[in-house]
Structure 1
Amino acid sequence: MIALPPATRVWLACGPTDMRKGMCGLAVMAQEVMKHNPHSGAVFVFRGRRGDLIKLLWYDGQGLCLFSKRIDRGKFVWPIGQIGVAHLSAAQLSMLLEGIDWRHPERTWQPALAG
């Protein structure tokens, strides 16, 4: 993944998206459905109905970039039954791209009890 600037905002389109859409179609969705400027520098994330393909739209300062990833096994974790937009942190986006449940990450260690 290309390193994003630290203050980059990440917007996730909660409903399923027609994955036949390309850069222009997704930019229109970002603007009209998600109500955000696709040239703002934010990352817009879209998932298809089957759940194994996502597309990311990002304006890097010179032009729009379109990234896609198809996961080999399983599905990308997505908000269920929601319509609209969700805001993710850069860490949550990294987990999403790795196929990790970004909504409920669990630590592998427990903090020591003060006592």
Structure 2
Amino acid sequence: MARNILIIEDDAEILRVLETVLTFHDFEVTGLDRTDDIIGAVKAYNPDLVLTDYMLPGLNGGRICQLIKGNEDTRHIPVILISAYHEQAIALVNFGYDAFVPKPFDINRLVKTINRFLN
């Protein structure tokens, strides 16, 4: 059974690459370029994992993590934060993300990190 990943990434090229690569690795992928209602999006798409950029219009990745992890119905969902702002994102560990992958990311490392949570 395919595992569902919700990606939130505002860079269209990065989103396209992530969707293509993760689909190749047998994941069902839904990509959004932004969200102002992450709990609504999680309920609509029912992901097994959320992969989010940090710098986003609307809710940033840190706030997305806080909202997912702060909600009783969604806190079990792993959240992976990706960002080019390495030091800032690492310092924001209190947002509750489960893993951090720096941009530019190594796609094999990213897939390995995702599989660690979904297998």
TM-score by length of 1: 0.28
- Select the structure of larger CA radius of gyration: 1
Q: Which has the higher contact order (CA 8 A, sep 6+)?
A: 1
TM-score by length of 2: 0.28
